[in-house]
Amino acid sequence: MRFGIGQNENFVFFCLCTHLSLSLPNKVQETFDMTTLPYKVLFIDLDDTIWDFRANSMLALRQAYDELGLSSEIPDYDRFKTLYMTANKELWEAYHHSRVTKDFLIVERFARPFREVGSPVADDKAFIMRLNDRYLDILARQKNLVPGAVELLDYLTERGYPLYILSNGFAEVQSRKLESAGISRYFKRLILSDEIGVTKPDRRLFDYALRLVGAEPSDTLIVGDNYDADILGAMNAGWGTIYFNRDNLPVAGARPDYVVTALSDIKQIL
């Protein structure tokens, strides 16, 4: 690298950089220490890591609310949204740890908001399933990506990394999300928890993924936004980890190999 300075200045610059690196945060130090990583395989979580589930789910939820006339039961959309999001978050956390089934999740997350307001719709399973199916169909058509996703995928592809998706999302929508967003071409394979009925963070899903791609844990790294499901699960399986901490949340448990708050930061690591 050329700095346009003389030999003496180069020596001073080197000393200054060496001194400064001692006081840099861990995240930045790690990028200096590991200019090239020994990983041969990269897994990336889909929802809210590269595909913007937050934005896309809100669009789908609003459209489903309007199309199915849910205002007749819960007139205030914001209240419906809050009730749904609270239920959905709680149920997905339980689903990650096998405390509820997929079938229970997809019904309960929509039934609970109606139950909270005393609506008889909560007990109409046929209607709840129609609502769920319409929501998922609209959701799978959405195109919004997390900022920096395409640039990162282009970069990783140019670097020659084989890329795979590892997701707890439902088989009926995950591949459609990739197609709708125009990013399926980047990935060699989509691997889903639905394939074996085991979800992240269960180590069995991580081991299953390795068998499918023929990789070793020490050669494998995952990028994910969920500390519990993606990061702790991968760490327990012996994988390298990049925690995409989009909201800059405190990390209370074991420290991931890397923590980034923007996808663009990953290019400094890989």
Query: Distance (Å, rounded) from C-alpha 205 to C-alpha 198?
Result: 6
| Residue 89 CB partners (closer than 8 Å, separation 6+) | none
* Average pLDDT of span 69-82: 98
The reported pTM is: 0.84
| Residue 120 CB partners (closer than 8 Å, separation 6+) | 114
CA distances from 212 to 100, 140, 209, 223 (A): 27, 25, 5, 18
pLDDT of residue 9: 38
Query: Distance (Å, rounded) from C-alpha 104 to C-alpha 98?
Result: 11
Interhelix angle for 77-96 vs 53-67, to 10°?
130
What is the pLDDT confidence band of residue 6, given thresholds at 50, 70 and 90? very low
pLDDT of residue 37: 53
pLDDT of residue 206: 98
For the cut 90, the answer to whether the pLDDT of residue 38 exceeds it is: no
Domains in the chain, CATH or no CATH each: 18-52+145-269 (3.40.50.1000), 53-140 (1.10.150.240)
For the cut 90, the answer to whether the pLDDT of residue 14 exceeds it is: no
* Average pLDDT of span 106-122: 98
What is the layout of strands, in order, in the sheet containing 258-260? 189-192, 163-167, 41-44, 220-224, 240-244, 258-260
